[in-house]
Amino acid sequence: MDEIKGYLSIITILLGIQTLNAVSDNTSSLFTEVGAALSILVILLVPIFLLGKAVHSKLR
């Protein structure tokens, strides 16, 4: 259960970053690029990690 809270907190922070990028016109380009890159990495890597974890637990 603690891992789920960690994943949800990461997703919430990244959602806040993307919301700030969408709403604020004064956001720097570096912040926008870093926030977008982190969000894309999390969106791609977390499901792969969770799938691998589920498969690994079934193989044990």
DSSP string, 8-60: HHHHHHHHHHHHHHHH-SS--HHHHHHHHHHHHHHHHHHHHHHHHHHHHHHH-
Give the chain's mean pLDDT: 83
Percent of the chain at pLDDT above 70? 97
Tens of pLDDT along 12-26? 888 888 888 788 888
Residue 16 CA: distances (Å) to CA of 20, 41, 60: 6, 16, 38
- In this prediction, residues 49-54 reach a mean pLDDT of 85
The predicted model scores a pTM of: 0.57
User: Is the distance from CB of 39 to CB of 14 less than 8 angstroms?
Assistant: yes
So what's the pLDDT on residue 1? 54
- In this prediction, residues 34-43 reach a mean pLDDT of 84
Q: Domain locations in the chain? A: 2-59
